[in-house]
Amino acid sequence: MGKRLLPPVYEPKEVEAKWYRFWEEGKFFRGEVDPSRRPFCIVMPPPNVTGELHMGHALDNTLQDVLIRWRRMQGYTTLWVPGTDHAGIATQARVEAELAKEGLSRHDLGREKFLERVWQWKEKYGNTITMQLRRLGASCDWDRERFTMDEGCSRAVKEVFIRLYEEGLIYRGDYIVNWCPHCQTVISDIEVEHKETPGKLYYIRYPLTEGGFITIATTRPETMLGDTAVAVNPKDPRYREFIGKKAILPLVGRELPIIADEYVDMEFGSGALKVTPAHDPHDFEIGQRHHLPAVQVIGFDARMTAEAGERYRGLDRWEARRRVVEDLRAQGLLEKEEDIVHAVGHCYRCGEVVEPMISKQWFVRMKPLAEPAIAAVKEGRIRFIPERFTKIYLNWVENIKDWCISRQLWWGHRIPVWHCADCGQSTAARNGLDRCPHCGSSRVEQDPDVLDTWFSSALWPFSTLGWPEATPELKFFYPTSVLVTGRDIIFFWVARMIFMGLKFMGDVPFREVFIHGLVLDALGRKMSKSLGNGVDPLEVIESHGADSLRFMLVTGNTPGNDLRFHFERLDGARNFINKLWNASRFVLMNLDEGESLPRLGEVRLELVDRWIISRLQDVVERVTAYLEEYELGEAARLLYEFIWDEFCDWYIEMAKLRLYGSDPEARRTAQVVLKSVLGTCLKLLHPFIPFVTEEMWHQLEPESAPLIVQSWPAVEEKRKDAAAEAAVGILQEVVRAVRHLRAEMQVPPGKRATVILVTPEAEKMGLLEEHRRIVESLSAGELVLKETLLEKPVNAAHAVAAGVEIYLPLEGLIDVEKERARLQKELKELEEELARVRRKLDNPSFLAKAPAEVVAKERAKEEELEKNRLSLEKLLSFLEGV
């Protein structure tokens, strides 16, 4: 009979391209509305249309794909909705950079022509990341791919805005916002990254009109030019008599009232606060409470305005700081400076230091939207995994502020409000306006701003399913089943989707939120271009294959925790796939082409068959339970251990005796079990490593449907066999003990040895006798079985395993003198190294100066060396008596 053969080496490139094309062309990813089956739906967190696949995307989408493939095999009708985000700031910046190469700006083109260029750029480059996700193996329904500015999503955005506007939940007003001078737009509070930055605390004397001074402390002396008051805490006894008096603003000469406000921190600086309502959010609130004017001294270009005075007008804010400090010092008003490290807000997109500014912007009133979102989580209608993120979510939502949703960009959803130049009224409209509905004037113009990118992505779970139309997909798949996302966008995105889903669908957008951490480099640092420590997933796929990358990411994942990227772990994942490939190749080589095998229930199973099948039932049960609880890493780890250790290293080796023996019935039974167990393993592994498993399944079951649509394995209770597991466990313990003795005594691997096994227990003796060939084969030994020993063997290594005494006579196996000399030399070298480590640990200077992790590493080394020293001494002691 011919043999079914796999190539000797697994080549991921050929296999991956072939099978992804097969799956996509065969519509295996298609999510169908089928009321007879349970739905399972995930909406992909839409990556930026400017983006390329990075390790964060690779982790996030691998986890989603594992869940989708698993549920698909379980018989759910699954839908994984892919899509991309228009990424207002990032995309506009990219296109403006391209224009700059031509010596042009967006203003040279005008709004309409510029947007044409952005759409052209999107069509040319915007699909890069979706093509890369295919390389990863993402089984999305690409026929349903969405874009946050496609026609359907744009309609949903406009509808949501107008409904909120008509309910009074969207308003426009002058408030202090976070302004990015580089991106030239406002950004929301949660888009500001606060970085610990070295700075100075300047103590400045403000003269009093009645004589004397009051000293304030500030980190931003350039903003003092816009001060309109000095504030102190009414409970501060140092300043009680100052309240109601006036100070004179240095360098400007403006009189400032000294006011009392409980916001002032008595412990910070001097305990007196300069109040600059136009350039600090807390000062803005103080100004609102005390009806203070706001003087803007820094412009939207981050240069000083005319309000700052002629000496400073037009200066960059940092240059203005230097000049203000010089002038204060010259006038004797700079009391002192202190070096500090403080949190400074930076734009999360470009890294520029943001500038608080008063600006007319659009806002959403969040409190009315937050209340149902709080209740939904507290009542358990949405579950966070891990549970600790529930508290983080609730803490933010319960203290939420209004959301600034306008951005000073051209690329994005333009705010659907028209302003009348004659009567000053504003009107929201779905289809545009030619005339003002209030006064009839034709002098109406649409608001120039666009909506925050996160406004459209907040609607993603229902806009992608067809809302505001009542589509069959919306009715069937909403609420979606689970959201898989990183811990860094709980506030940006997760909370806002919950707000909008409850408001416009009357139900939560998803039942569960599976939070994962970030992918860090091997040193635990966030991957970034500035550090140059990023790892390109596509390069990894080229070198190791997509399955290796996926398996490494999943096995390193624990819900909510960050993951460190180690190339050693990547190599380990590839080694596992190669092990699986070689095991499959071995099974296929031992199946006879054209010969149909009986079913598992039609053959007489031996002890080791019952053992591996019983162990497999446990694995099926536990892997399924782990997946239900989103412990994907534990599920993958369990499969790794079972396949590598129990199936490959134990069962296949045991089965070889029958495969290569003369009994055709025993050979057939081994073939049936090997094929059955391998087939089940491929099913269990498919969600994690889909390409290689599909290839092996096709070779194993060429007449069957593809693995992607095979049924997920179910536990067969009748196949559980505790007695078989216990019996084989005894055989394994004995074999391990013999192998350990051989390794300890440096017995050459190919040298067969006499092994004496002693047990008075008839049951164990019968077990060892019946399965003598297995023990001998796996331990490279010739067994001598005895119930008792009248006299212990001379010159024999000894161990006890599973209640069985084991003796390994050394005569003829090793050169005792040579082995003793080797061990003595090794012990001497080890003791010298141990002494060196201990000298270092006894050195007070080393302990005081070395980083804690270095000291800990040396202590661990000392412990390991001491352990090895004792082991060597024990061996030498034994050999001294041989």
Helical pair 537-544 and 55-73, crossing angle rounded to 10 deg: 60
Residue 607 corresponds to which amino acid? L
Beta bridge pairs of residue 339? 200
CB hemisphere CA count around 875 (13 angstroms):
23
Asked if residue 840 lies in contact with residue 834, where contact means CB atoms within 8 angstroms, the answer is no
Q: Is residue 829 packed enough to be buried (19+ CB in 10 Å), middle (13-18) or exposed (0-12)?
A: exposed
Q: By three-state DSSP, how is residue 653 classified?
A: helix
CA distance 18 to 698: 12
Asked if residue 668 lies in contact with residue 603, where contact means CB atoms within 8 angstroms, the answer is yes
Q: By three-state DSSP, how is residue 239 classified?
A: coil
Q: By three-state DSSP, how is residue 167 classified?
A: coil
Tokens of 790: 């009248």
CA distance 131 to 127: 6
Find where tokens 């019996």 sit: 727
Burial of 143-171, coded b for 16+ CB within 10 Å and e otherwise, reads ebbbbbbbebbbebbbbbbbebbeeebbe
The set of residues, in sequence order, having a beta carbon less than 8 Å from that of 562 and lying 6+ positions away, is 517, 518, 519, 520, 524
Q: Tell me if the bond preceding 468 is cis, omega within 30° of 0.
A: yes
Beta bridge pairs of residue 172? 362
Q: Give the residue from 626, 607, 610, 624 showing the smallest Cα distance to 677.
A: 610
Burial of 108-141, coded b for 16+ CB within 10 Å and e otherwise, reads eeeeeebbebbeebbeeebebbbebbbbbbbbbb
Q: Which helix (H) or strand (E) holds 474?
A: helix 472-477
Q: Give the residue from 706, 716, 712 showing the smallest Cα distance to 687.
A: 712
CA distance 34 to 230: 68
Residues in the chain: 882
Alpha-carbon separation of residue 53 from 131, 352, 704 (angstroms) = 9, 24, 34
The answer to whether 3 is a known ligand-binding residue is no
Asked if residue 866 lies in contact with residue 837, where contact means CB atoms within 8 angstroms, the answer is no
- Binding positions for ATP are 529
Q: From the annotation, which residues make up the binding site?
A: 529
